[in-house]
Amino acid sequence: MLSENSRARGSAVGAPPPAGDRGLDVTLILALGTFAVGTDAFIVAGFLPAMAGDLDVSVAAAGQSVTAFAITYAALAPVIATVTAGVPRRRLLMVALLVLCAANVVAALAPTFALLLIGRILSAVGAAAYTPTASAVSASLVRPQLRARALAVVIGGLTVATALGVPLGNVLGGWLGWRGALGLVAALCAVGAAGVVLLMPAVPGNPRVPLKARLAVLRRPAVTSVLSLTVFGMTASYTVYAYSVPAFESVGAGDAIPAVLFLYGLGAVAGNICSGYFTDRVGAVRVLTGAYLAMALGLGMLALLAAQEISAAPLAIVLAAVWGAASWAQTPPQQHRLIAEAPQEAPLVVSLNSSSIYLGIGAGTLLGGLFLPLGPPVVFGAGAAIALLSLGALGLSVDLGRKNS
């Protein structure tokens, strides 16, 4: 019997991978997996205070479980990409989702915060194997003119998870407790693994390349400037995110937290889809400029409302949608820029961008935890300030790209 690698190579010769619109259809399968990964990553914010109370730690300390996940992901994504380079893509994606399933079972049953951290770190290992691989595979399945949209479909699984995962965590945390909510995430990851096995076409692995050689791409200033911008932008986005429940209570939205979180996620879905479309139409730089300006405006207005102790739940909900849209409008244009700078190393640069995303999430969550004792206005204001710094970093990144073109 032929191995999966052999079958995939044979099909690549006799029947090329799907392309064009059919390729976009296949990416929906990958988006199912990224939805499972995203729900796992984001659901914690919906029940963070309850989890902190049950494990007898502060909310700021419990938020560092998000940091532990993010930093582990950031550190391991390029290593896993190297170690698993030769593994057939379908097999790798299935195993990654099963690791996530097991990790959520560990976290759901954890009697102590230390064991919960172990579960979150194990989750990061599965996520670091899945998301970059899914993104790189999606880009290979379509013609270049549709690449940004294919990436947006896969990342769309993450953004839909922000729309549903966090408010679902908030609701399920009240109904079933946070442990039951994590148990449902484990089941979702198992369903995602089954979907990959049953529906995804066989795709061979890549040639094995030593980690040192793979990371040589970081010597290109144009690439490192784009990756640095990803870190800045996601730090701005996630300074508030893990602490969104107490932060939005400060602007009178305490009774509307599920709506706030849902509108954040709905904005994230819209921002991701629109950014993929407009990146193909008007270019990545214009899309990113609009995203950083919108993020700074949304978070800045929330900071003013919190500082003035103004109760404005309807406005806060609208601003949450703006914040969500701006946050997730970053990823498709950034990935598009990286693939354009290093087309021969597309899987690697996509994995490095995923590392940068989670490094930014970790840094933002850490900063948010440090600022939280100073009050929600400071947390919102810090996010707005970093968004403006991201706009400046975009200008530097564009200049470096021109000099090295």
Contact 172, 159 (CB under 8 A): no
397 vs 194, higher pLDDT: 194
Tokens describing residue 377: 């206005």
Which residue bears the tokens 């996940």? 69
Distance CA 277, CA 154 (A): 14
**Token pair recorded at residue 146:** 């549709």
| pLDDT score of 96 more than 60 | yes
Question: Is 390 strand, coil or helix?
Answer: helix
The whole-angstrom separation of Cα 90 and Cα 29 is 11
pLDDT value of residue 89: 84
- In sequence order, which residues have a C-beta less than 8 Å from that of residue 9 and are 6 or more positions away? 204
Q: Count the Cβ atoms, other than its own, within 10 Å of residue 140.
A: 17
pLDDT tens by residue, 226-237: 999 999 999 999
Contact between 24 and 146 under an 8 Å Cβ cutoff? The reply is: yes
Q: How far is CA 96 from CA 80, 99, 102, 117, 122, in A?
A: 11, 5, 10, 18, 10
Q: At what angle do helices 147-175 and 257-282 cross, to 10 degrees?
A: 180
pLDDT digits (tens, 9 = 90+) for 323-366: 999 998 998 899 888 888 887 777 678 778 878 888 898 899 89
Give tens-digit pLDDT for 198-254. Answer: 877 777 777 776 777 767 778 888 888 999 999 999 999 999 988 888 888 888 877
Question: Lowest-confidence range among 99-113, 313-327, 331-345?
Answer: 331-345
CB 223 within 8 A of CB 342: yes
